[in-house]
Amino acid sequence: MRKGDFEIIYNQYYKVLFYYALRFVTETKVAEDIIHDVFCDFWIQRKTINLNQSFKSYLYTSVRNRSLDYIKSSYHKSKDFNSTDQYLEQYVYSALTTTEEYIFSKELVEVLSIAIDNLPYRCKEVFLLSRSSDLKNREIAEKLNIHLKTVEKHITKALLEIKAHLEKNGYLMLLISYLILLK
């Protein structure tokens, strides 16, 4: 691939890939960095990339993977979500690839959010510390000054109630199918 060909590809795909990355990361600077990195890798690997396959797919897949990597790394750095919805959106949206998945995940976030909001206060608190703050059960017990078994019971209760809520609203089987497809 010549430099001129690369510039044509860059000019043709930069903007659409930028907006694609922005769907994941929501920060302009981060999306720009991701696109820059993807094109740098594309240029470096231009001799080994099989151009018989679609380089468009290669670019989209690379942007998606880098965006997901960024989300994962920023999640582990901050672990400080302001709300249940924000945690769920980060978790669910991290695997988006199509409009149908986007719509389904948006609905799923709403249903999960309602299920979590309907949990008893302490149960909800323990569950969110476990999931959104990524604390271990022992850490939650120490933080809330409760027994480890109490933490385990709250998490079990939360999972059962969330499962029942999803099942009642027709989302449980869809969620299971969705998660299987992601693997």
Q: What is the pLDDT of residue 148?
A: 94
pLDDT at 78 over 60: no
**Cβ-based neighbour number of residue 31 at 10 Å:** 23
**Entry pTM:** 0.46
Range from 48-52, 94-98, 144-148, 178-182 that averages highest in pLDDT: 144-148
The whole-angstrom distance between residue 144's C-alpha and the CA centroid of its chain comes to: 28
Q: How far apart are CA 37 and CA 18, in angstroms?
A: 12
Residue with tokens 């959106």: 89
With contact defined as beta carbons under 8 Å apart, do 34 and 69 qualify?
no
